[in-house]
Amino acid sequence: MAETILGIDAGSSLIKMVRIERSMQGSVITGTAILQRDPDVDPAGDAQAGAHGSGQADAHDRLARVIAQAVADKDLASDRIILGLSSRQVFVRHLTFPFTSFSKISQVLDFELEGMLPLPIGDLVSVFTKQGKTRSGEQRVLTGSMSREELHSLIRAFRKEQLHIEVIDLAWHGMLALLDQEYGPVPDPLVVVDAGWSGTEVFLVSQGQIMEHRFVATGISSFSSGHQQTDAAIIELAEGDLATWSARIGSLIDLCMIGWANTAGTLADTRPEQIVLCGGGCLVQGLGSSLECAVQIPAQTMGELRKDFFQNITEHQAQASLLHHASGLALRARKQDAGFNFRIKEFAPLTTFRDRRQRLVHLGVCAVLLLGVYLFTLARAVHHQNQQLDMLEGQIRTRISEILPDVRKGMLPSQYVSILKDRLAVFDAENLDNEGPGGSAIEILQAISTLVNSSFKVNLDMLTLDGAKVRISGSADGFATVEAMKQRLQSSPFFAQVVIKGAKSVARDGTVQFTLELDRE
């Protein structure tokens, strides 16, 4: 069954939404939306400013309402929802630890971050992802911390709109999912340039992990006053502005390389093989070629790198360029360790439709397995009873064939009766014991029933005679009952010896199956 996942990039200027449908055949984009944020209040907030009280809650409520309305209008309802936040809402730090255990890092993370952040550590929720090791073998981690109050406010706002967010992450972690080798080969290492309206972030990526990242407050708005934040059209900048911007981006790339070399040593000697341009910077005409000239590294957009994945987006290519992070966030749901998730620290997500469906499937599988075990046990018990009945029927047929004369020999009725009487006399002589019960099975059964009365919780299933030996089989409520029955029969004058030939417990109903062998006096 196909699964639908909605990725939401709640950027500082636009809200970008992409729904993908994931099945055994792969992931396909099935719906998109680009929405304008409230122009009066920036719900993305600013991590540096801390909590905003009621104003922040109101902004989150408006954000959730806008997204809920778009989900209804654009038919974007999905099994799972992944929300990506602006980097302005999260403090990001790089740390190293002398151990690699996830639990140990979790225990000391807050202690290591204390003093490195502008807000009290108790007011923050901090998470991390591993990033490989340093030249000395220490574990590198990328940490993210956001306001606890803001996280509460955000979750409450979406709950009011019946939107159950499964993952809350940084929006730019979506690009890692798009760079996964599953969707095609990518050079290693490479640089991702996320050029936005008010700033530019540069990421050095190797082996699917962000090794270094830098930010500069230089974006599209620094050079283009003729465009609005919400425009989704090609932007033309002066050649000098492109050169200036590219030079600043090149400086960030150099800083990333230096930082990686300081921690990873000789592993960082390799120059990045490619620049991948994503986000609003893809709308700036000539930015890619300008970067190539500035840093001497080939550049292409994320849309060009993953053109097969984005080919079915029906919007204009300029609009499709804005959906990179949202698309990656939807793909990111496939791997729980592909980024941050601020929900898992303290706020477990509500039960979603997907969770309920999984639970129903698991309950169904368990029910089928239990039914199968019950039917197997029942069939086995019926088969055992049928075997016992067949055995008894065979014994009866054998006795009858021994007693009844063969009529095929053409004897007279009087001869038949005479032979029958003789054989019955021989049968009685073999089985009759004048001091004990009669020789027939019925008489012996009556004697046993008298000795083993209703005070014993016993069911007799089979009685067989073999000369002076009597064998009885049945079930009792416990081993003590079997032993007491043996003692009762042993003490009677009718049987010389009573031996328990077998006794085993039946787990199905708690009874004990037994077999006793009795020697008649």
- What span, in angstroms and rounded, lies between the C-alpha atoms of 230 and 139? 41
For residue 379, the model assigns a pLDDT of 92
CB 463, CB 444: distance < 8 Å:
yes
User: For domain 185-305, is the CATH number 3.30.420.40?
Assistant: yes
Range among 40-44, 86-90, 221-225, 261-265 rated most confident: 86-90
The full 3-state SS of 444-455, as one line of letters, equals HHHHHHHHCCCC
State the residue for tokens 């089928």: 368
For residue 68, the model assigns a pLDDT of 92
Give the lowest-confidence range in 111-120, 177-186, 231-240: 231-240
Q: What is the mean pLDDT of the chain?
A: 79
| Stretch 375-399: mean pLDDT | 87
CATH of domain 434-521: 3.30.1360.100
Delimit the domains of the chain by residue range.
Answer: 1-184+309-350, 185-305, 434-521
For residue 317, the model assigns a pLDDT of 54
CATH of domain 1-184+309-350: 3.30.420.380
Question: What are the tens digits of pLDDT across the range 258-280?
Answer: 887 777 654 445 678 888 888 77
Predicted TM-score (pTM) of the model is 0.61
If phi over 0 gives left and psi between -120 and 50 gives alpha, with beta otherwise, what is residue 469? beta
Q: Do domains 1-184+309-350 and 185-305 have the same CATH topology?
A: yes
Nearest C-alpha neighbor of 83 from the set 183, 3, 159: 159
Question: What are the tens digits of pLDDT across the range 212-233?
Answer: 888 888 777 777 655 554 445 6
Q: Tell me which DSSP letter residue 24 carries.
A: T
Residue 350, pLDDT above cutoff 50: no
For residue 261, the model assigns a pLDDT of 79
Which is more confidently placed, 211 or 50?
211
For residue 367, the model assigns a pLDDT of 93
The full 3-state SS of 411-474, as one line of letters, equals CCHHHHHHHHHHHHHHHHHHHCCCCCCCCCHHHHHHHHHHHCCCCCCEEEEEEEEECCEEEEEE
For residue 368, the model assigns a pLDDT of 93
Give the lowest-confidence range in 56-70, 140-154, 335-349: 335-349
Grade residue 375 by pLDDT with cuts at 50, 70 and 90: very high
| Stretch 479-496: mean pLDDT | 86
Question: What are the tens digits of pLDDT across the range 237-251?
Answer: 777 888 888 888 888
